Structure formats: C-alpha cells, structure tokens
Amino acid sequence: TRRRRWPALLIAWAAYLALLAPMLGLAQSGPQLVADRYSYLSCMVWAVLIGAGVTRAWAYKDIRTTRRRICVTIGGVGVVGVLAILANAQTRVWADSETLWRTVLAHAPATGTAHANLAVLLNDTGEYTEAREHSRAALAVLPGNRLAHIELAPSSAELGDLPTAADHPRLAPTTSPGDPRPMLPV
C-alpha cells in the first residue's frame, strides 16, 4: 500500500491536520472569518516534505542523474517564481488600511467590521458620503456595532443630517461584547 511506501506523506498529512485544527473555526476566537496568517505554521509541513523530496531526488546516482537534477532545478525555480508572484500580489492587499478593507469588502461584502473600519478612514480623509454609506452598511450587518454608530455621526453632521448625527453617538453601546475593537490604520 502507499502508506507503507510513503510513510512521510501520511505523517505530513497528520501533522498538517494537527496544526490546522485550531484554526478551522470550529471554536471562533475573534471576528475574522479567515486570516492568511493561520496558514503559515500548518503549511510549513508541506515545505519540509517538498524539501525532503528535492533532497532525495538530488541524492540518486545513476545514468539519469544530470537530467533529473535539471528537472528538479527547473521545477523548483518555477515553483519559487510562482510563489513570489503570488506573495507580491498578496502584499499589495496589505499596502495600507484602505486597500485592506476594500479588498475584504470585495470578497465578503457583508463584513460589518470592514465597513466600520473603512468608514473611519473615509471620515478622516473627508469622504463623508462614502463614510456614511459604509457606516450604514456596517449597522445593517451588525446593528450593535459601536464604531459604526460613532462614525455615522461626523459623516452625517458634515452632510447636514443633524438628527442622525445627534442620535447615533447615543445609540452606540458603551460596551459591545460581540463587536471587536476598531482596527487602527496601518
């Protein structure tokens, strides 16, 4: 069976699952749906397995050694190149807070926390109409979102909606257990 021929694969799979289990979301420990950082530790198992495979491929000593090493080298360079391109694209998402929150909303439009945090940034830059839209969208998803209530006030005041500006700071709960603390700009 394959289990006997490739024991490292079974061990790697078990280690991957053991490292991934706490991050599967079975027990939620925050507002995030998915976070890229959760894949680092668990995916290290596959990097070690691939490294062992490359080392083993280089260790063969037969007539095809040169061809095998060339193929392994080309394959390795190709994989590293693709990973570098993907990493570059992902780091652009983290360039600044506005890009991050807009990317989150592009992938998951019903994320109240992202709407509220984007409203903070937009109020700070004077984009009150859009800030008010995002505050309202956050409240539609998370009615008790303290940050969204607070951020709706200045945008509404700037746009001349004084009753809303006056009401929402009072509607903001003083504590909201299900509502995360506001994210600070990067």
Average pLDDT by stretches of 10, the chain with 186 residues: 73 85 66 61 83 79 73 87 93 90 93 94 96 95 89 93 85 58 44
Would you state the pLDDT for residue 54? 80
Instruction: Please count the other Cβ atoms lying within 10 Å of the Cβ belonging to residue 114.
Output: 25
Would you state the pLDDT for residue 179? 46
Would you state the pLDDT for residue 98? 94
148, 135 Cβ separation under 8 angstroms: yes
Would you state the pLDDT for residue 55? 82
Round to whole Å and give the CA distance between 162 and 167: 9
Q: Is the pTM of this model over 0.85?
A: no
Would you state the pLDDT for residue 67? 79
Structure tokens at 184: 């600070």
Round to whole Å and give the CA distance between 117 and 186: 12
